[in-house]
């Protein structure tokens, strides 16, 4: 067999689609013997179906497939057997090997029908693939796979407690100072508990004001909760924008990594500020930077969001704090950056 030709071939499952964008389906395509072809497409577009049609394994397609000018739908079973013995072979996606047989026995099973290769040549192929040690090993005890990439990340978060642990005053051996320090921490914790919730509501629904806590020195206890998170991420993956290596049938690998920073600070019991940004080491550019500021207005919540980067935008809103009224009582103001976006 010298030529495999597809004439307006299309899987029946795609027949109802309005438009098919493909270099194979609904086209005149010919594959010549002695040449190597790479058919590449996203998942679900018919790559496995194409192989099944050509191999005669499936016939649920429109159009015509010809071997040397003959329509394969007219082939008898004996004709298909002869073609698969002499001219055509297929490695199924799920391999379809016999688990109780060894690697050599699985290869020899087909080779005994075709007589295509000598044992020495098969041994050479095993050696070139780096699997000579698997020659007499049962397939059922092996694993197969394809390394497509790897990714990972490292992160660390700094906050009031970690900062105090690293850079705060060390413990003093003097028990009196330890006691004062304990009282100070207790006062700060009490202040934090009282102010985290702001002014609590009593049973009547009105907020009641709590007395401010003081530290051992007589000053108002002050604590500003904050956190800063650093994250480094990296990935190794196939770079499909580069040309494939036809000997190994693999794409070259590319490494990408980035650094991300996010932070939060609480100013009193009602103000809250969040921000995030990052840096891409591959493009050598800053990633999108966002800043969000919110304020508890008792019956209402106010928030403001700013975005800096390739697409700068802002939004400002005041909404009712009640879940029942949050969509009814609100005022929003946004930039119109996204108004020109066309959705498909």
Q: Give the tens place of pLDDT for each residue, 212-251.
A: 677 677 776 667 889 999 999 999 988 888 888 877 767 8
| pLDDT top residue among 311 and 131 | 131
Q: What is the DSSP string of 86-106?
A: HT-----TT----TTSBHHHH
Confidence of residue 93 (pLDDT cuts 50, 70, 90): confident
pTM for this prediction: 0.45
Residue 15: the pLDDT is 83
- pLDDT for residue 7 is more than 90: yes
pLDDT for the residue numbered 240: 81
Segment 289-318 shows an average pLDDT of 89
pLDDT in tens, 52-72: 999 998 999 999 999 999 999
| pLDDT, the chain, mean | 81
* For range 20-26, the mean pLDDT: 87
Residue 138 has pLDDT above 70, yes or no: yes
Alpha-carbon distance of 59 to 49, in angstroms, equals 10
Is it the case that residue 5 has pLDDT exceeding 90? Answer: yes
- Token pair, residue 270, equals 């009602």
Contact between 127 and 119 (Cβ < 8 Å): no
Higher per-residue pLDDT: 311 or 336: 311
Tell me, what's the pLDDT at 2?
Answer: 92
Q: What pLDDT does 212 receive?
A: 66
Find out whether 88 and 23 touch, Cβ atoms under 8 Å: no
- The answer to whether 11 and 46 have CB atoms below 8 angstroms apart is yes
Q: How many CA atoms lie within 13 Å of 330's alpha carbon, on the beta-carbon side?
A: 15
Per residue in 160-172, pLDDT tens? 888 888 877 665 5
Percentages of the chain per state (helix, strand, coil), in multiples of 5: 25, 35, 40
Where would I find the beta strands (DSSP E) of the chain?
3-11, 28-32, 61-67, 70-71, 149-159, 226-238, 253-267, 271-280, 285-286, 289-296, 300-308, 313-320, 330-334
Q: How far apart are alpha carbons 79 and 250 in whole angstroms?
A: 35
Which has more pLDDT, 130 or 17? Answer: 130
> What phi and psi values does residue 53 have, to the nearest 5 degrees?
-65, -45
CA 228 – CA 260 distance, rounded (Å): 11
Greater confidence (188 vs 140) lies with 140
User: What are the C-alpha distances in Å from 228 to residues 19, 273, 276?
Assistant: 50, 12, 10
Stretch (H or E) spanning 164: helix 160-167
User: Would you call 247 helix, strand, or coil by DSSP?
Assistant: coil
Distant-in-sequence contacts of 311-318, Cβ < 8 A, 24+ apart? 311/337, 311/338, 312/337, 313/337, 313/338
The pLDDT value recorded for residue 311 is: 76
Share of the chain above pLDDT 90, in %: 33
In the predicted model, is pLDDT for residue 264 greater than 80? yes
């Amino acid at each position: 067999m010298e030529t495999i030709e597809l004439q307006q071939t299309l899987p029946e499952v795609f027949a109802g689609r309005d438009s098919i964008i493909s270099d194979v389906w609904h086209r005149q395509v010919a594959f010549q013997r002695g040449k190597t072809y790479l058919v590449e497409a996203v998942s679900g577009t018919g790559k496995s179906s194409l192989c099944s049609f050509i191999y005669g394994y499936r016939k649920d397609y429109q159009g015509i497939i010809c071997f040397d000018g003959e329509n394969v739908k007219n082939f008898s079973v004996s004709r298909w057997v002869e073609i698969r013995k002499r001219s055509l072979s297929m490695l199924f996606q799920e391999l379809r090997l016999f688990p109780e047989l060894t690697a050599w026995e699985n290869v020899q099973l087909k080779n005994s029908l075709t007589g295509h290769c000598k044992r020495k040549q098969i041994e050479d192929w095993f050696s070139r693939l780096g699997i000579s040690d698997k020659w007499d090993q049962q397939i059922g005890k092996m694993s197969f796979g394809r390394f497509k990439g790897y990714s990972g990340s490292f992160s660390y978060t700094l906050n009031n407690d970690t900062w105090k642990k690293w850079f705060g005053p060390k413990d003093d051996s003097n028990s009196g100072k330890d006691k004062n320090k304990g009282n100070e921490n207790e006062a700060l914790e009490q202040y934090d508990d009282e102010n985290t919730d702001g002014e609590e509501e009593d049973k009547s629904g009105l907020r009641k004001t709590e007395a401010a806590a003081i530290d051992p020195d007589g000053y108002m206890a002050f604590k500003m909760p904050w956190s800063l998170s650093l994250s480094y991420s990296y990935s190794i993956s196939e770079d499909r924008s580069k040309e494939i290596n036809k000997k190994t049938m693999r794409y070259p690998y590319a490494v990408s990594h980035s650094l991300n920073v996010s932070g939060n600070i609480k100013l009193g019991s009602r103000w809250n500020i969040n921000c995030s940004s990052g840096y891409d080491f591959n493009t050598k550019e800053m990633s999108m930077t966002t800043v969000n500021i919110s304020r508890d207005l008792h019956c209402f919540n106010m928030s403001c969001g700013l975005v800096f980067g390739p697409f700068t935008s802002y939004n400002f809103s005041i909404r009712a704090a009640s879940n029942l009224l949050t969509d009814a009582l609100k005022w929003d103001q946004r930039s119109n950056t996204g108004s020109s976006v066309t959705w498909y």
